[in-house]
Structure 1
Amino acid sequence: MNVGLVSNTYSSITNGKGALQSARQSADAQSFSALVEKFKAQNEEKAEASISSSQVTARGRLNGDWTSGFAGSFTQTAAKPTGAAVNQANVHVQPKTIDKTSELYEKSLELENYFVKQMLSAMRKTVVKTNESDFAQNMYEDMLYDEYSTAMTKSAGFGLADQIYLSLV
């Protein structure tokens, strides 16, 4: 097959704009490559001065995770259990203290928060709504109930986090 014939056929299909299109694509590819190289050079210069996102956010949290969380909620290092954790089945067992500043207790609070959120979600499903809600309204209501469950976990004193902590220590 003759290369000249192929290029003439391609030129006739594109009304002579094939060469122009090819030149534009080549120029775009070169400018994009130059832009990528520029950003790579900037990143290499800033590599020593920058910090990673894992250092910016609290451990275990994602960027954009806007819930209140439990980090820094408590300052007591030796506290007595509250709620259901106070009622121990055996009176001969010495009562334990809880380090409410530890990461284990924080994770226990997150688990309690999950259970409270499930309870609130089940309660929310029983409410009859008069109008139809859209996606955005449902999303923001869900975020509101996340904050409700966080506030309830911090202040209601269910004691589930205390029980979880004591069983894991």
Structure 2
Amino acid sequence: MDMTVGGISALTQGQGALQSSKISAEKGRFEELVRSVYGEASSVSAGKNVSSSQILPEGRLNGDYGTGFSGTFRSPADKNALPTGAAANQANPNVKAQTIDRTSKLYEKALELESYMVKMMVSQMRKTVLKAGGEGDFASKMYEDMLFDEYAVAMTKNAGFGLADQMYLQLSQAPVDVEA
């Protein structure tokens, strides 16, 4: 077969050209996104300062649209709450029941860690599902990942796994003096 007459396109029946055009289009969209980010960054460095109204509560980035756990628990009853989920299942009846301050920063960070672990579990479960349309583009994958972040936060808030409660109880215990 003479490759010079039909070329590679004759062998791949035009699929190579189609794939190349898809890659080129996505590359163009990505380059436009990069140019817009650099254009915004250059205007910031040109003398525009960030106002104090744009600064979010500690631990949050400007543009972070996740719901998070800040301010989830506010009632006075949340200061002395009983553990839930796995933390409530104490096997030893002789152990004094502990309470949790759900309004504390430590508990908020424990919830964030629990949410991260739930996200890892959900992400592994998501990988087992076959998609009908094949692979999506970068933007759809990023959006889907953000969606599953929110699923993990909602599950952490509502499911009562108790992992955050266990972490809080373990980390809030008084340090044990070890004498050598």
| TM-score of the two chains, using structure 1 as the length reference | 0.68
**SS of structure 2 residue aligned to 1:61:** coil
Give 5+ residue unaligned stretches, structure 1. Answer: 1-35, 44-49
Measure, in 1, the Cα distance between the counterparts of 2:52 and 2:148: 33
One-letter amino acid matched to 1:67 = G
1: distance between equivalents of 2:52 and 2:68?
Answer: 23
1-side partners of 2:141 and 2:52: how far apart? Answer: 36
Q: Pairwise mapping of residues 17-28 of structure 1 onto structure 2 (< 5 A)?
A: none
Q: Which amino acid aligns with 1:74?
A: F
**Aligned mates of 2:154, 2:52 — CA distance in 1:** 32
1:44-123 paired onto structure 2 within 5 Å = 51=52, 56-75=55-74, 76-123=78-125
Runs of 4+ in 1 over 6 A off after TM superposition: none
C-alpha displacement at 1:95, in angstroms? 0.6
Partner of 2:155: 152
Superposition RMSD on alpha carbons, in Å?
1.9
Greater Cα radius of gyration, structure 1 or 2: 1
SS at match of 1:77: helix
Alignment gaps of 5+ in structure 2: 1-45, 173-180
Partner Cα separation in structure 1 for residue 156 and residue 125 of structure 2: 16
What secondary structure does 2:125 align onto?
helix
Shift of 1:52: 7.6
1:89-144, CA deviations, whole angstroms, 9 ceiling, x for partnerless residues? 32211111000000000000000000000000000000001112111111111010
Amino acid at match of 1:109: L
Q: Which whole-Å deviations, capped at 9, do the CAs of 1:3-47 have from their partners, x for residues lacking one?
A: xxxxxxxxxxxxxxxxxxxxxxxxxxxxxxxxx7xx59xx7xxxx
Any idea what the Cα deviations from partners look like across 1:70-102, whole Å, max 9, x if unmatched?
A: 001112111000000011132211111000000
Using the TM superposition, give the Cα deviation of residue 159 of structure 1 relative to its aligned residue in structure 2, in angstroms. 0.3
Q: Normalised by the size of structure 2, how large is the TM-score?
A: 0.64
Q: Distance in 1 between matches of 2:133 and 2:170?
A: 46
Q: Which amino acid aligns with 1:155?
A: N
